[in-house]
Amino acid sequence: MNDKAYERVLADVGPRLRRLRQERGVTLTALAETTGISVSTLSRLESGGRKATLELLLPLAQAHQVPLDELVGAPEVGDPRVRAVPHRRDHMTIVPLTRQPGGLQAYKMVIEPVAGPPEQRTHEGYEWMYVLSGRLRLLLADRDVVLRSGEAAEFDTRLPHWFGPAGDEPVEVLSLFGRQGERMHVRAKPRGRDKED
């Protein structure tokens, strides 16, 4: 590749970064918080006032969850696949299903049984969970609910909560989570009162 070809590739990076960020509805401020790159540097990078470097592109590719070559070359057309990388956290395998930072996040989780009493926690956000297989036990404040395959629950995560397998078998769950308290629009029709008392 000659110098002119390199210059053309680098000139296309800024507009591609802006388009990628705007398609995902992410602000420069939110992206700066995710990547550790200043808002002014991100703005100059998108406008072409700053040349793209590997040091800048690597955290941006990670934040947008896209391959590095998608930032410096044309993305594959018509390929809607999410290339998610599973990771382990404690007794869970988590597969992220969304590629943008901020906003609603989708995850597939396989949760294994764990010894010891459940410990409820709180944090900002709102969660919607759908059981794909197995049985999920959800402790929400003073409620103790068991969800079976095909059932869903939604709750404000500022309430003390814990979830995990209801028995000795793992449970597979689809989770939608909004850090800013975004509510989901899908609701499960209740089948009747739970036998909790």
pLDDT tens sequence across 33-69: 989 999 999 999 888 888 888 888 888 888 887 777 7
Distance CA 174, CA 152 (A): 9
The pLDDT score that the predictor gives to residue 90 is 83
Q: Are 115 and 168 in contact (CB under 8 A)?
A: no
Q: Global pTM?
A: 0.53
Residue 16 has pLDDT above 60, yes or no: yes
Q: Per DSSP, what are the bridge partners of residue 126?
A: 156, 178
Share of the chain above pLDDT 70, in %: 77
Type of residue at 166 = A
The pLDDT score that the predictor gives to residue 43 is 92
Residue 170 has pLDDT above 90, yes or no: yes
The pLDDT score that the predictor gives to residue 80 is 62
Q: Look up residue 94 and give its DSSP letter.
A: E
Distance CA 146, CA 36 (A): 41
Residue 127: C-alpha distances to residues 8, 137, 157, 162 (Å): 44, 15, 7, 12
Distance CA 17, CA 60 (A): 9
